[in-house]
Amino acid sequence: MNKNSDRPSIEDWLKEAKSAETSLQEGMYLIHNGVVRQTPKARVRQGIDDGTVVTGMEFSYESQKIEAAIAETYRMKGIFHVRVWLNEGTLNVGDDIMYILIGGDIRPHVIDALQFLVERIKTQCVTEIEKKEGL
C-alpha cells in the first residue's frame, strides 16, 4: 500500500507484477480505479435523489485495516499479487480515490478477490464524506 497522494503508474505496477516470481502462476490481472463522481452515493446505491450534486469529498483510511484486508486477499485461492494505493484528504470530482491491482491464476479467482478487497476497503477501512450542493 502506498501512503502518499502521488498517483502510481499502473503501467509500472503491471511491469512489477509481471517480473515477480509469482507471475509464472498468474494468468490475469484486474485493476480498479475508484474516482470521485458528481452523483451522490445515496442516489446511485439507493435511488434517493435529494437534488444535490457532489462537489468533492473528504477521504481518509485506517492503514492497519487496509493491511489486514490485503493480507486476507493474499490468502484467497489463486491470488499471488495485490497492490493498493489510496488517496487522502480533500478530493474533487474526477480525482482518483484508489487504485487496486490483483493478479492471480484464473478469472473467477481474480474477480472474486477484487470484489472482496474493494468491498472490504469501502465498507470497513475508509471514511468518505461527500461535499454536496443543491442543483
| Residue type present at position 126 | V
Domains of the chain by residue range: 10-134
pLDDT of amino acid 14? 96
Give the mean pLDDT of 114-121.
Answer: 98
pLDDT of amino acid 50? 87
CATH top class, domain 10-134: alpha beta
pLDDT band with cut points at 50, 70 and 90 for residue 5: low
| Phi then psi dihedrals of residue 101, to 5 deg | -120, 130
- What is the residue-averaged pLDDT of the chain? 93
| Cα–chain center distance at 10 | 13
**Dihedral class, residue 51 (left if φ above 0, else alpha if ψ from -120 to 50, else beta):** left
Q: Tell me the three state secondary structure of residue 62.
A: coil
Q: What are the b/e assignments for 91-113, b being 16+ CB within 10 Å?
A: beeebbbbbbbbbbbeeebbebb
The alpha-helical segments, DSSP class H, found in the chain are 10-19, 41-46, 63-74, 107-120
Percent of the chain with pLDDT strictly greater than 90: 79
| pLDDT exceeds cutoff 80 at 44 | no
pLDDT band with cut points at 50, 70 and 90 for residue 135: low
pLDDT of amino acid 41? 82
3-state SS of the chain: helix, strand, coil percent to 5? 40, 35, 25
pLDDT of amino acid 47? 82
For the entire predicted model, the pTM comes to 0.89
